[in-house]
């Protein structure tokens, strides 16, 4: 039994809410490698995760589920394979407030296609109320067009309940 295999990966573009979502359900504050943003990211947010987020949930038998967040910036995409290796499943977060968020969803679904096929994915759209770049129906139609029936939710990354519901859907997918 390899404990480090028990991990759930959170991914998505800069500012999607990965670090926030991990903190909202984990037992300890995430070990983050957030640094002050530079360059174009500065327009989006103050800090960004440069290597990865890490935290865990401890189960009643002492076993840990590890939560990893991939860095949002694409120049770190070499980390993605390492992080997903032997993972349980994927949480994809998309910030609706970014330009072309539906395109971003497609990008990540393609980038993680192998991992998703072997495990499962759940998609959370954050900041839906803030911008009307896309509606949930737009994401849904894109998934229908791609014939991918993946759990899709509108969530607030800061809400523990929303993140829990997403993880629950992921577990349902992984259990069937």
Partner 1 sequence: MSAQSLNISALHLGETEQKILHVAVRLLQEDEFACQLLGDSDCTGHIVVLDMDSDAAAETLQKLRSSQIKILLADEQRSDRNLVSLAKPVHVETLRFVLGKVCKQLMLHLQKTYDEIVQPAEFSQPTEIASEVNDAEDDYEEEESSLLLVMLEARDQKKCVKIEEEGMPTIYIDGNKSTIASEMDYEHVLEVGLHNNEHHLHKSEFGEKDVDTAADDISLSSLDNFLWELTLKSSENILPDDIDLDTPIKLKAWPNFTRHGFHPDNFKIAALLARQPNSQRNLIEATGLGEEVISRFINSCYAVGLIEVQNDENPVEVPEKRQISEERSGLFRRLAMKLGIA
Ligand X SMILES: Nc1nc2c(ncn2[C@@H]2O[C@H](COP(=O)(O)OP(=O)(O)OP(=O)(O)O)[C@@H](O)[C@H]2O)c(=O)[nH]1
Binding mask 32-51 for ligand X (x = CB under 6 A): -------------x--xx--
Task: For residue 61, state whether it binds partner 1 (rule: CB under 8 A).
Answer: yes
Task: For residue 138, state whether it binds partner 1 (rule: CB under 8 A).
Answer: no
Count of residues in contact with ligand X, rule CB under 6 A: 19
Place of tokens 């759990």: 151
CB under 5 A: which stretch of 48-56, 58-66, 87-95, 150-158 binds Mg ion?
48-56
Binds 28: which of Mg ion, ligand X, partner 1, none (CB < 5-8 Å by kind): none
Task: For residue 158, state whether it binds partner 1 (rule: CB under 8 A).
Answer: no
Task: For residue 21, state whether it binds partner 1 (rule: CB under 8 A).
Answer: no
Task: For residue 2, state whether it binds partner 1 (rule: CB under 8 A).
Answer: no
Task: For residue 19, state whether it binds Mg ion (rule: CB under 5 A).
Answer: yes
């Amino acid at each position: 039994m390899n404990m480090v295999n028990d991990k759930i990966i959170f991914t998505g573009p800069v500012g999607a809410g990965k670090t926030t979502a991990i903190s909202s359900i984990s037992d300890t504050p995430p070990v983050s490698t957030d640094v002050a943003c530079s360059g174009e990211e500065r327009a989006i947010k103050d800090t960004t995760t440069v290597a990865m987020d890490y935290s865990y949930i401890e189960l009643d038998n002492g076993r840990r589920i590890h939560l990893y967040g991939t860095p949002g910036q694409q120049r770190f995409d070499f980390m993605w394979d390492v992080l997903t290796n032997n993972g349980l499943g994927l949480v994809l977060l998309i910030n609706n407030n970014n330009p072309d968020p539906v395109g971003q969803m497609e990008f990540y679904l393609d980038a993680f296609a192998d991992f998703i096929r072997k495990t499962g994915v759940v998609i959370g759209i954050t900041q839906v109320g803030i911008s009307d770049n896309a509606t949930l129906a737009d994401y849904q139609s894109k998934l229908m067009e791609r014939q991918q029936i993946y759990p899709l939710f509108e969530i607030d990354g800061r809400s523990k309940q929303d993140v829990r519901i997403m993880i629950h859907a992921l577990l349902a997918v992984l259990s069937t």
